[in-house]
Chains A and B, each alone.
Chain A
Amino acid sequence: MSEPETNPVEQPASPATPSSTPPAAKPATTPPPAAKPVPVKEIPPFEKSIADKVEAEFSGKVKVEFVKENRIRIKTSKEDVVQVAKFLRDEMHYDHAESVSGVDYPAEKEIEVVYHLGSYTDPQLANQVLALATRAPREENPNPGFDSTRLPSLRDVFYSVEFHERECFEMLGVFFEGHPDNRRLLLPEDWADLPPLRKDFRNKGR
Chain B
Amino acid sequence: MSSTSLPPGLQIEKVDERIMTLNVGPQHPGSGHMRIIVKIDGDYIVSADPDPGYVHRGEEKMAEYRNYILNIPHLERPVIHDSCNVLYPYCLGAEELLGLEVPERAKYLRVIASELNRCVYIQYWLAIYGIFLGHSTMFMWPAGDRELLIDMLEKMTGARVTHSYFVPGGIRNDVPANFEDMLLKRVNYFEKRIKEYAAVFAGKLSREDAIRLGTTGSTLRASGVNFDLRVKEPYDAYGELDVNVPVLKEGDSYARSKIPWLDMLESCNIIRQAVQKMPKSGSVRVKLKPNPKGGNDEVYKRVESGRGSLGCYIVSRNTPEPYRLKLSVGSFRNLICLPYLLKGEKLGNMPAVYWSLNYWPVEADR
Residues of chain A touching chain B, judged by Cβ–Cβ distance below 8 Å, are: 1-2, 4, 9, 11-16, 18, 20-21, 23-26, 70-71, 73, 95-99, 101, 103-104, 114, 116, 120-121, 126-127, 129, 131, 144-146, 158-164, 167, 169-171, 175, 182-188, 196-197, 201, 203, 206
Selected contact of A24 from candidates B104, B297, B317, B326, CB within 8 Å: B104
**Docked-complex contact A127 and B62, CB < 8 angstroms:** no
**Docked-complex contact B234 and A116, CB < 8 angstroms:** no
**On chain B, which size bracket covers the interface?**
35 or more
**Docked-complex contact B317 and A1, CB < 8 angstroms:** yes
**Given A116-B311, A170-B9, A197-B61, is A70 in contact with B214 using a C-beta cutoff of 8 Å?**
no
Residues of chain B touching chain A, judged by Cβ–Cβ distance below 8 Å, are: 7-11, 51-53, 56, 58, 60-62, 65, 96-101, 103-104, 107, 211-216, 220, 225, 227, 229, 232-240, 282-283, 286-289, 292, 295-300, 302, 309, 311, 313, 315, 317, 323-324, 326, 328, 332-333, 335-336, 365-366
Task: Please measure, in the bound complex, the distance between the C-alpha atom of A186 and the C-alpha atom of B54, giving whole angstroms.
Answer: 7
**Docked-complex contact B239 and A24, CB < 8 angstroms:** yes
Residues in A with CB closer than 8 Å to B220 are: 120
Q: How far is the CB of B364 from chain A (nearest CB, A)?
A: 9
**Docked-complex contact B300 and A12, CB < 8 angstroms:** no
Residues in A with CB closer than 8 Å to B234 are: 25
Task: Please measure, in the bound complex, the distance between the C-alpha atom of A122 and the C-alpha atom of B282, giving whole angstroms.
Answer: 40
6 chain-A/chain-B pairs, Cβ below 8 angstroms: A11-B96, A14-B100, A98-B309, A158-B214, A183-B9, A201-B61
Task: Please measure, in the bound complex, the distance between the C-alpha atom of A206 and the C-alpha atom of B283, giving whole angstroms.
Answer: 37
Selected contact of A25 from candidates B107, B298, B324, CB within 8 Å: B107
Q: How far is the CB of B66 from chain A (nearest CB, A)?
A: 10
**Docked-complex contact A25 and B237, CB < 8 angstroms:** yes
Task: Please measure, in the bound complex, the distance between the C-alpha atom of A163 and the C-alpha atom of B53, giving whole angstroms.
Answer: 12
Residues in A with CB closer than 8 Å to B100 are: 14
**Docked-complex contact B311 and A103, CB < 8 angstroms:** no
